[in-house]
Structures are given as structure tokens and as C-alpha cells.
Chains A and B, each alone.
Chain A
Amino acid sequence: DVKVTQSSRYLVKRTGEKVFLECVQDMDHENMFWYRQDPGLGLRLIYFSYDVKMKEKGDIPEGYSVSREKKERFSLILESASTNQTSMYLCASSLWGQASPGGYTFGSGTRLTVV
């Protein structure tokens, strides 16, 4: 069963900590994405990557960075966590191009609480 795996389902961190959220996919997908989900705001794109070592800013990149050293792994980094980064974080992957526009495959999310 193909999947996207996020390393933590729940995470509690302190303000100012450096936080790493890990995402691994086993489908050989080129594209990987990080979204945050907040009530009333839907899903908002933080960063995405369409190849190893490539990254592009999404709609809300401030306070975040990403790393993609291997095709299957895409990490989201909160350099100095703040309470306004308390949220649900969703990772997703997809194939490149219109050959298979089946949308994304999502992980099951990491609920991060910053205290």
C-alpha cells in the first residue's frame, strides 16, 4: 500500500525551539508539499519541492524552511517555534505532469502545539 508517512502524529514544543517535521513517501513522486490546516482557513501552502534540492515558497513561507536531500523525504523546519505556528501540518506528494492528475497523496498530519 503506497503511502506518505509523517513521523509524528502529535507534537508539543516550547517557544523558541527548532522543530523538524519529517515526511517520507514511497511512491517515487517528484513533487512534495507542506500545508498547514487551520479552522476556517482551510489548507494553505507553506513550501513545495518538485525535485531533490529544489524548493519553492508557497503562500505562507514566513517562519519556515524546508529541506529535500533525497527524493523520498521532505522536511519542514521551524527555525524558532512560536505560538502562532500551533497548527495541523499536512504533507503530500504527487507525480509530475498531467499524465496522472490524480491529485495528491496525503500523510495523516502532525498536530503541533507550541507552548
Chain B
Amino acid sequence: AQTVTQSQPEMSVQEAETVTLSCTYDTSESDYYLFWYKQPPSRQMILVIRQEAYKQQNATENRFSVNFQKAAKSFSLKISDSQLGDAAMYFCAYRSNFGNEKLTFGTGTRLTIIP
């Protein structure tokens, strides 16, 4: 079974600075997707960014980018120019490209933005 590990329960960053959230995963598969979700205080989970394992290029969405290291099974999220609205719980998730389509989530990282 796949597992996803987020080793940082809490992180904080100064507004306008850059922060990196860590995620590692364990799988024996070669074809899969990785995701970062954001859960603000409103509780609505929002997809931030996704990465397809067969693509070597790291995904980027505006101020959000990932560092995908397939051999190391690492998938970190970098947030540049942090804004107050980035404060949230961030979850890393894994989805196999075989069989069912469930997501396996990490335990989350709570990000605080310091004004």
C-alpha cells in the first residue's frame, strides 16, 4: 500500500518570503499522480498543483511550484512571495494510475504567514 509522509506538522514564514513544504511517499508503481491541496479555515479543500510521474518537468502554478524527485520519492511544494491568504493546512496526496482512483493523503502541514 502506498503511504504519504509530511514530516512538518507546522511551518511559518514571513509575508513575501519563500517557504518549502516537504512530502515523501512510498510506492512500487511507476505511473501515478501527486497533488498538493490547500485547506483554509473555511474548510474547503482546494487543489493547488498536480504532478504526473511520467513528466520530468516540475509543475508550476503562478507562485506555487514543486520539486519532484522521482527516484527519491520526494515531492516538495515551494510557495514564493507568501501572502496572508496562503495561510492554511496543506496536504500532499498520491493517486495511482492503476485500478481505483482513491487519493492517499499525508497528515498535513499547517502554514502560518507572519505579517
Contacts and interface: CB of A to CB of B under 8 A. Distances in A.
Interface of A: 31, 33, 35, 40-45, 48, 50, 56, 58, 88, 90, 92, 94, 96, 98, 101-104, 106, 108-109
A104 B45 contact: yes
A79 B100 CA distance: 26
Contacts of B114: none
B44 A101 contact: no
A31 B102 CA distance: 9
B47 A103 contact: yes
Interface string B93-110: 101010011111111100
Interface residues of B, number: 26
Nearest to B106: A42
Among B4, B43, B52, find the residue whose CB has the most chain A CB atoms closer than 10 A.
B43
Interface of B: 4, 6, 9, 33, 35, 37, 42-45, 47, 50, 52, 91, 93, 95, 97, 100-108
Nearest to B46: A106
A98 B100 CA distance: 11
A108 B44 contact: yes
A96 B100 CA distance: 9
B45 A42 contact: no
Contacts of B4: 42
A88 B43 contact: yes
B107 A101 contact: no
Contacts of A88: 43
Given A42-B105, A42-B107, A42-B108, A103 B93 contact: yes
Given A42-B107, A90-B45, A108-B42, A101 B102 contact: no
A98 B43 CA distance: 27
B102 A41 contact: no
Contact of A104 (B9, B103, B104, B107): B103
A33 B104 CA distance: 12
A18 to B, nearest CB: 25
Nearest to B49: A103
